[in-house]
Amino acid sequence: MQAAPPSRTNACKASLARASSPRRKQRAGMSPASPDVQLPPSLWAAVTPAGPALPRLEGEVKADVVVIGAGFTGLSAALHLRDAGVDVVVVEAAEPGWGASGRNNGQVIPTLTRPEPSDIIGHHGGAGERFVHLLRDSAAYLFDLVRMRALAAEAEQTGWLQPAHSAGRMRIAERRVTEWSRYGAPVKLLSRAEMSALVGSDVWHGGWTNPTGGHINPMALSRELARVTLAAGGRIFAHSLVTAYARTGSNWRIETERGAVTASGLILATNAYTGEFARDLAPAIARELVPVASWQMATEPLGEDVRRAFLPGRQAMSDTHGDLHFARYDARNRLVTGGALIIGVAGRRRLEARIGRRLARWHPRLANVRFDYVWNGWIGMTPDFMPRVHRLGPDGYAWAACNGRAVALSVSIGRELARALLGRQIGELALPFSAPDPLPAHGLVRRLAPWRLAAYRWRDAREIA
């Protein structure tokens, strides 16, 4: 591909929209239908310096590659393309970090939530094995990128822990250590005593760890990726909702209300928000995943004595509950955790009570802490917990469905999508390509999805691995 001017992304994975534009209140439990919807303010938006000022897309623009979505994937792809001299434009419906990329917990985890390496390879063959290697190295790659680019993202590569919440769930830890060891991951099985020493609590029954993981400030990472992409000559347009894309002759063309971009290559990186802002943008992709509300919470800053009592090594932690229990510290010693709700009504009050009791069970020093921030966002889930990667046509690619593991994964997938547009053969890419496969009765599945949490809680109370 020949080098050209910079570009912009339309990240439906971004985080908190600016207060300058009119907002509609978010209805409890409902997905936003517009980038102007008011989402609860997050910790990350409160503590992160403002990102670069970005123009709207107006008029006709030409580039080598156009990226729709300025989340981790879109910005990673754009940065890697600019490193190769490709003229790239990113078009974002809100701002970098407005959605999932800026509203998540910030844990950097080099695995998927459910599928093991053998599952991935069994389904995708050689591409699956390459994808397993990408997963294995994804956390290390993110932290290396942060260090190499000097990204001010509050990155801490302190490792990731997955404690087993019951004795029977140790089978999960044993299986995952066996599987990931086979593919060279530096994983370790932990006894109950070892886990207790690392977490500072004896409520778990052992588990496993991967030292390449850790945590970051996701909003800061989004804005820093935007900054270095611009510095490298990329162009990013914000508040520019892409309503359509199409292959016209030998090029791709995307359209917004005020402008259009024509490019030889296209990346669609809108994840859980693919059908939320522009329903007809990519309906088959939008309907193969289910947007699920994810709630995050941050305590008041904790004293160093309390901080050292629980997770003294500052690792990221997420356990084996289906109704996930998770936590990490931010740079200000706030414990950042969260939970899930079947019904979002009065979500903050109910979560503060439930998660407050949970923290007290974890450690008595965490009893009666105050939550300064409670917010939510949307993650894209699939029935098999696998991401979806697609070829849209010549030099056109898309991916969606992070299944709650987007931080490390999406940065590496962005790199692979860039490699695809730089001419790497499909058979060499670490991407499990498939055709879009919309879920039958998607609307009904979506309405019923929050009730799956009840099944998770039932299973969590039983010895079911």
Question: What does the pLDDT look like over 143-174, one tens digit per residue?
Answer: 999 999 999 999 999 999 999 999 999 999 99
pLDDT (average), residues 21-40: 54
More confident site: 457 or 14: 457
User: Could you tell me which residues come within 8 angstroms of residue 168 by beta carbon, excluding any fewer than 6 positions away?
Assistant: 463, 464, 465
Amino acid identity for residue 11 in this structure: A
Res. 7 pLDDT band, cuts 50 70 90: very low
> What pLDDT, on the 0 to 100 scale, is given for residue 448?
95
Question: What does the pLDDT look like over 387-436, one tens digit per residue?
Answer: 999 999 999 999 999 999 999 999 999 999 999 999 999 999 999 999 99
pLDDT (average), residues 297-323: 97
Cα torsion at 301, 302, 308, 312 (round to 10°)?
-40
> What pLDDT, on the 0 to 100 scale, is given for residue 465?
56
Q: Which residue has the tokens 């990221």?
A: 316
Euclidean distance between CA atoms 332 and 442, whole angstroms: 41
pLDDT (average), residues 298-327: 97
> What pLDDT, on the 0 to 100 scale, is given for residue 35?
77
Domain span at residue 42?
24-106+218-289+384-443
Count the domains in the chain: 1
- What's the distance, CA 31 to chain centroid? 17
Asked if residue 1 is part of any domain, the answer here is no
What percentage of the chain exceeds 90 in pLDDT? 89
What percentage of the chain exceeds 70 in pLDDT? 92
> What pLDDT, on the 0 to 100 scale, is given for residue 8?
33
Task: Please determine, for residue 51, whether its predicted confidence score (pLDDT) is greater than 90.
Answer: yes
pLDDT (average), residues 266-277: 95
Mean pLDDT of the chain, nearest integer: 92
Euclidean distance between CA atoms 344 and 446, whole angstroms: 14
Euclidean distance between CA atoms 357 and 320, whole angstroms: 19
Asked if residue 423 is part of any domain, the answer here is yes
Task: Please determine, for residue 438, whether its predicted confidence score (pLDDT) is greater than 50.
Answer: yes
Asked if residue 101 is part of any domain, the answer here is yes
Question: What does the pLDDT look like over 70-101, one tens digit per residue?
Answer: 999 999 999 999 999 999 999 999 999 998 99
> What pLDDT, on the 0 to 100 scale, is given for residue 3?
35
> What pLDDT, on the 0 to 100 scale, is given for residue 37?
67
Task: Please determine, for residue 39, whether its predicted confidence score (pLDDT) is greater than 80.
Answer: no
DSSP string, 163-198: E-SSSTTHHHHHHHHHHHHHTT---EEE-HHHHHHH
Residue 367 tokens, joined: 């009893």
Cα torsion at 453, 341, 461, 100 (round to 10°)?
70
Asked if residue 280 is part of any domain, the answer here is yes
Exposed, middle or buried, 178 (CB in 10 Å: 0-12/13-18/19+)? middle
The CATH number of the domain holding residue 419 is 3.50.50.60
Asked if residue 72 is part of any domain, the answer here is yes
Res. 28 pLDDT band, cuts 50 70 90: very low
